[in-house]
Amino acid sequence: MSKAYVNTDRKGAVAVIRLDNPPVNALGHGLRLGIASALKAAEEDAGVKAVVLVGNGRCFSAGADITEFGKPLQSPNLADLIMAIEASPKPVVAAIHGTTLGGGLELALSCHARVAAKDAKLGLPEIKLGILPGAGGTQRVPRLIGAEKALKMITSGDMMPAEEAKASGLVNEVAGDLVDAAAKLAEALADSGDLPRVRDMSVPGDRDTFDKAAAALTGRGRVLPAAKACVDAIKAAIEMPFDKGLAYEYELFKQLVSSDESKAQRHVFFAERNAAKVADMPADTQAKPVSSAAVIGAGTMGGGITMSFANAGIPVTLIETTDAALKRGLDTILANYKRSGRTPQAEIDRRMGLITPTLDIEKAAGADIVIEAVFEEMEIKKEIFGKLDRIAKPGAVLATNTSYLDVNAISAMTKRPADVLGMHFFSPANVMKLLEIVRGKATSHATLATAIAVGRKIGKVPVIVGVCDGFVGNRMLGARLKATEQLLLEGALPHEIDAAATSFGFAMGPLAVSDLAGLDIGMRARRARGVRAAVADAITDAGRYGQKNGKGYYRYDEADKRKPIPDPDVEKIIVEASEKLGIKRRQISQEEIIQRLNYPMINEGAKILEEGIAQRPSDIDVIWVYGYGWPAWRGGPMHHADQMGLKTIRDWLAEQARKSGDASLNPAPVLDRLAREGRGFASAS
Ligand code: CAA
């Protein structure tokens, strides 16, 4: 039987058209066709006075079907449907619940009125996909809520809760009994003969205020094409007649949707959703219920992880070994909550109240999930897992936050390795969204499913990875750090390397990031592996540990402790290191720096894929976008590689390996094979 997409029922003289395209009522061709036919039938039915549009399932509609972008349009397109609704001789009222986004909101805006459920959230998130609302959003929203508010809504992509939408004029009513209220309003409109259309309104608000807000947006830093287009389209709403503005918006939409930036951002959207899908996990795998957590270690990582649980309303026991460490940890958590200035005191109190500090590890017994976040020392971790095996309740998930140690060796300390895995958070753990979930050889599907569900609940983007030194992110970072060290030795200075990285789109360059993270951490990791790095070692030998002591690859002033300032002392250290190794320094171009930072890392990514440490190339992209600041509009390293062409990268690596004698730069076999076949990583996933 073919899928229905909509079903219609009646409430008296009102036809209720229900959108039925799970899971999010994306407005694909079938649903568009279904709505258009149901509307036509209602118009032709003499017994119908008015129409209500409502979504079945969890939301009204999450917008256009993103999978259709870039493919030939099938009629009716969204714009046609929207015109048909607006032109209906019978009033149409949208009854909105859940997330009403993008084209879904634009559909609602073409209706003659809108009623929202209390849980409704309205937004135009297109900017996050590198496009602009292309079905009238930039023209209708300013007419309803004013150009300045529309600018904020459209360029942030943020969602507006129902009550705020009512207050600003985006919806007419907020109601408990959604369909009833919408039907009543629809009937009242029919009785009054009134067919209000947003297109007939003019844009309220002060032009000057809008211009200032627009200039502030386009005047700072890198402005992506989508942001500029949003501003231009809203200007058109103010300046042009409605139909001209609409045509202009659509022109901009067509340009953006075929841009590399938008393709990359759409890639990241789907990559994020695929990253937690486990190829061999049976569909009926159930996550275990988690209503309490314990975190062992109140240092920077443990504190951030604890905050993530408290933020999500999950009670968490924070375990330390000394009063002083526990107090320091709690003080830092409190200071972090206060720092943003955005969390009301009552909310801070509530979150702090969810944290139970203790010096007694036996208290981990009550937790459904225990996360160990102590020093990166195998022996300490093994000891803790031995204890947890004795203490933790049966079935509890036992996770280590190690960033490179062998999860299998840790789980072997327990008699329940199926319950053990890695949950690798990124610093600051209360802010960074990436969560590498490290699957050990004995980790059960239920344990994996639980970690994924918990990760999502605490606002993270989980990605499944396998066990190896550094897992995915840090292993590739290792390749980039090695390249950075070599660049410094051959002639580049820290600010030149960082400038190249920021020109590529990173918010921060690798050396500024190292200073932020603390150079002593890298030093310890190198020592543990017996690795030497002439420049990095000389910098830490000189007592330069990064921002924490005001000097690292840069120096930092009291006036702004976070602003890196190039330091002649560092240049001296670097030049001496080059001299000691007999390397003649030279000027290195920005283009070369970018290649040398990115391509070895991509090669490492290819090896990671080959070894099955990452399930898909797009998982690697998610890791770099959410954990390491890779610009989403460049889609992640593997997507970028596909865009550059794998042959270009393979040839570059082969040449570098030949010139430098560094075997790690030899192209990975999978990269070589795909390049020879003229294919990209995406085709191999
Ligand atoms: N098109 C196609 N598929 C979509 C989709 C869309 N707009 N929105 C969500 N999906 C898919 C997801 O890919 C996912 O599929 P799988 O289960 O196969 O992985 C499924 O629906 C469920 O999505 P989530 O896992 O994200 O569910 P969630 O409950 O966590 O989040 C959501 C729901 C908030 C709606 C989120 O999916 C979301 O933000 N969706 C995108 C919304 C968006 O960007 N809309 C604008 C589209 S562009 C547009 O409308 C242009 C225009 O102006 C004409």
Q: Give the mean pLDDT of 417-435.
A: 96
DSSP label of 367: -
> For atom 10 of ligand 1, which residue has the closest CA?
24
Q: Which two tokens stand for residue 637?
A: 């390293």
Bridge partners (DSSP) of residue 399 are: 371, 421
2: pLDDT strictly greater than 80:
no
User: Ligand 1: distance of its center to the CA of 271 in Å?
Assistant: 12
> For atom 1 of ligand 1, which residue has the closest CA?
65
The count of other CB atoms within 10 Å of the CB of residue 622 is: 30
Which residue among the candidates 44, 86, 126, 164 is catalytic per the annotation?
Answer: 126
Assign 73 a pLDDT band (cuts: 50, 70, 90). confident
Q: Which amino acid is at 500?
A: A
541: pLDDT strictly greater than 70:
yes
Annotation says 126 is catalytic: yes
Report the nearest atom of ligand 1 relative to the CA of 103.
Answer: 50
> For atom 8 of ligand 1, which residue has the closest CA?
62
- In the chain, where the domains are located: 6-257, 293-468, 473-612
> For atom 20 of ligand 1, which residue has the closest CA?
23
Could you give the 3-state DSSP secondary structure of residue 72?
coil
Q: What is the mean pLDDT of the chain?
A: 96
Choosing from 19, 24, 251 the residue with most ligand 1 atoms within 8 A of its CB, the one to mutate for a pocket test is 24
Q: What is the CATH number of domain 473-612?
A: 1.10.1040.50
> What pLDDT was estimated at residue 351?
97
> What pLDDT was estimated at residue 1?
55
> For atom 34 of ligand 1, which residue has the closest CA?
99
> What pLDDT was estimated at residue 408?
97
Residues with CB under 6 A from ligand 1: 23-24, 26, 62-67, 78, 99, 101-103, 106, 125-126, 129, 133-135, 137, 270, 273
Bridge partners (DSSP) of residue 414 are: none
> For atom 19 of ligand 1, which residue has the closest CA?
273
Report the nearest atom of ligand 1 relative to the CA of 128.
Answer: 44
Tens digit of each residue's pLDDT (9 = 90 or more) over 353-390: 999 999 999 999 999 999 999 988 899 999 999 999 99
The count of other CB atoms within 10 Å of the CB of residue 143 is: 24
User: Ligand 1: distance of its center to the CA of 268 in Å?
Assistant: 12
User: Ligand 1: distance of its center to the CA of 327 in Å?
Assistant: 43
CATH of 6-257, one of 3.30.565.10, 3.30.450.20, 3.40.630.10, 3.90.226.10: 3.90.226.10
- Report the relative pairing of strands 92-96 and 113-117 from DSSP bridges: parallel
Taking phi over 0 as left and psi of -120 to 50 as alpha, with beta for the rest, 315 belongs to beta
User: Ligand 1: distance of its center to the CA of 499 in Å?
Assistant: 35
Tens digit of each residue's pLDDT (9 = 90 or more) over 160-198: 999 999 999 999 999 999 999 999 999 999 999 999 999
552: pLDDT strictly greater than 70:
yes
Q: Where are the alpha helices (DSSP H) in 340-493?
A: 345-353, 378-391, 407-411, 445-457, 473-490
Q: CA dist 587 to 486, 517, 535, 590, Å?
A: 13, 28, 18, 10
Q: Which two tokens stand for residue 192?
A: 């009054």
Tens digit of each residue's pLDDT (9 = 90 or more) over 611-651: 999 999 999 999 999 999 999 999 999 999 999 999 999 99
Q: Helices then strands (H, E): number in the chain?
A: 28, 17
Among 523, 549, 524, which residue's Cα sits nearest to residue 538?
Answer: 523
199: pLDDT strictly greater than 70:
yes
Q: Give the C-alpha separation, 421 to 371, whole Å.
A: 10
- Phi first, then psi, for residue 196 (nearest 5°) are -65, 135
User: Is it true that 6-257 and 473-612 share their CATH fold?
Assistant: no
Q: What is the pTM of this model?
A: 0.94
Report the nearest atom of ligand 1 relative to the CA of 129.
Answer: 44
Report the nearest atom of ligand 1 relative to the CA of 133.
Answer: 53
Report the nearest atom of ligand 1 relative to the CA of 137.
Answer: 53
Report the nearest atom of ligand 1 relative to the CA of 65.
Answer: 1
Report the nearest atom of ligand 1 relative to the CA of 270.
Answer: 13
More confident: 218 or 617: 617
Which residue among the candidates 106, 320, 436, 604 is catalytic per the annotation?
Answer: 106
531: pLDDT strictly greater than 90:
no
CATH fold of 293-468 reads Rossmann fold (3.40.50)
228: pLDDT strictly greater than 90:
yes
The count of other CB atoms within 10 Å of the CB of residue 445 is: 17
Among 238, 99, 117, 250, which residue's Cα sits nearest to residue 176?
Answer: 117
118: pLDDT strictly greater than 60:
yes
> For atom 39 of ligand 1, which residue has the closest CA?
62
> What pLDDT was estimated at residue 438?
98
User: Ligand 1: distance of its center to the CA of 611 in Å?
Assistant: 31
Tens digit of each residue's pLDDT (9 = 90 or more) over 240-297: 999 999 999 999 999 999 999 999 999 999 999 999 899 999 999 999 999 999 999 9
User: Ligand 1: distance of its center to the CA of 29 in Å?
Assistant: 15
Q: Give the C-alpha separation, 329 to 339, whole Å.
A: 15
Assign 521 a pLDDT band (cuts: 50, 70, 90). confident
Tens digit of each residue's pLDDT (9 = 90 or more) over 494-512: 999 999 999 999 999 999 9
Measured over the CA atoms of residue 136, residue 142, residue 144 and residue 148, the dihedral's sign is positive
User: Ligand 1: distance of its center to the CA of 85 in Å?
Assistant: 23
Q: Where are the alpha helices (DSSP H) in 157-223?
A: 162-168, 178-192, 207-218
Choosing from 61, 65, 66, 132 the residue with most ligand 1 atoms within 8 A of its CB, the one to mutate for a pocket test is 66
User: Ligand 1: distance of its center to the CA of 238 in Å?
Assistant: 30
Residue 477 and residue 484 in contact, taking contact as beta carbons nearer than 8 Å: no
Among 544, 550, 576, which residue's Cα sits nearest to residue 565?
Answer: 550
> What pLDDT was estimated at residue 234?
98
